[in-house]
Amino acid sequence: MTADASDIGLGPGEEFDLIRRVAARLGPSARGLGDDCATVPWPGGVLVLSSDMSIEGVHFQREWLQPVEIGWRAAAAAMSDLAAAGAQPIGVLASLGVPRNEGGLTEDIMAGVGEACAAVGAVVLGGDLSRADAITIDVCAVGSADDPVGRGGARPGDSLWLTGQLGGARAALTMWQRHREPEAGARSAFARPEPRVGAGRWLAAHGARAMIDVSDGLAGDVGHIAARSGVRAIVSLDLLPLGPGVDEAAALVGQHPAVFAAAGGEDYQLLVAMPGDFPAAAANTFRAEHELALTEIGRIEQGAGVELLLDGVPQRVAGYDHFG
């Protein structure tokens, strides 16, 4: 495809409007924008690449995390995009900036990057180091797949499924912002998210039509599948599996727990459109093999846009927008 602003296939939001303008400015010098990953044909398969940036004061506060967790989290976020393509990570390139006279951070942060890679069978391939006013880490993840899954294959009649639970990372963030300590499960969801690599490969092998990792919030990310696929997505928020700490944190901000979870980002679970005849027995097999929930939360219809329902009532829920 070309990188024309009209066909990039992203949902609404200021951040994504900016991406559309960048795509239009790049014109024919860009290719294949609009998915979680870039793909490059390669002998024996397809090379799959993605990058993700983590900046102190934007994505985390230093007092919330250990340096090793900062590195883990940054690498996991980048490799989560590979998981959403059904790819197997090969390795990462990590570029790290740290403040002057804090060079000791470098080893610990990079140790976390290495630990996250080792957890999914990948390695650190290289990177770059620089001085910066705040901790800044940019990770380029490299993987491979026979037939990568994008965001654009969902069809009317498909069902929407979600791995794991939502809202734990936002629950931790909410507690920290109120100078409280989150419960252990919520803290772990934020500090040590797991890229669902095995789950993504399994879903790809069992007919996944479209897939995205939930990094900017379910409410926003489902819109990218709908826009890229040219369909309408219907999600029943009542069906969302809620992460640890969600009930308490949602009460603090005065939201229904399901709405709170749908708006939260950085859960790094997989949202996938499967054929409508995907059997419950296969979902049970997935759960047994991966020790991970797989929950049907909605459907794909003809049309455009997204409808989020709670007790059958449409809800207005926005995902995270860096520029909103």
* Average of per-residue pLDDT across 62-89: 97
- For residues 173 and 246, the answer to whether their CB atoms sit within 8 Å is no
Mean pLDDT of the chain: 91
Question: Measured between alpha carbons, how far is 193 from 131 in angstroms, rounded to an integer?
Answer: 27
Q: Which of 93, 97, 137, 87 is nearest to 117 (CA)?
A: 93
pLDDT tens readout for residues 214-229: 999 999 999 999 999 9
> C-alpha angle 114/175/119, rounded to 5°?
20
Q: Looking at residue 2, what is its pLDDT? A: 31
What pTM was computed for the model? Answer: 0.89
pLDDT of residue 6: 44
CATH tag, 159-315: 3.90.650.10
Across 22-31, 118-127, 154-163, least confident range: 22-31
Within 133-262, strands assigned E span 136-145, 159-163, 210-213, 232-236
Measured distance CA(195)–CA(244) in Å, rounded: 18
Say whether pLDDT at 163 is over 90: yes
**Regarding the domain delimited by 35-145, which CATH topology (the fold level of the hierarchy) does it fall under?**
60s Ribosomal Protein L30; Chain: A; (3.30.1330)
What is the tens place of the pLDDT at every residue in 251-294? 999 999 999 999 998 999 999 999 999 999 999 999 999 999 99
Query: What pLDDT, on the 0 to 100 scale, is given for residue 18?
Result: 67
What residues does each domain of the chain span? 35-145, 159-315
Residue 304 pLDDT level (bands cut at 50, 70, 90): very high
Element (H or E) spanning 259, and its range? helix 257-263
Q: How far is residue 32 from each of residues 3, 6, 12, 36, 283, measured CA to CA in Å?
A: 7, 13, 19, 10, 31
What is the rounded distance in angstroms from the CA atom of residue 99 to the CA atom of residue 305?
43
169-213 pLDDT, tens per residue? 999 999 999 999 999 999 999 999 999 999 999 999 999 999 999
Question: How far apart, in whole angstroms, are the C-alpha atoms of residue 54 and residue 61?
Answer: 11
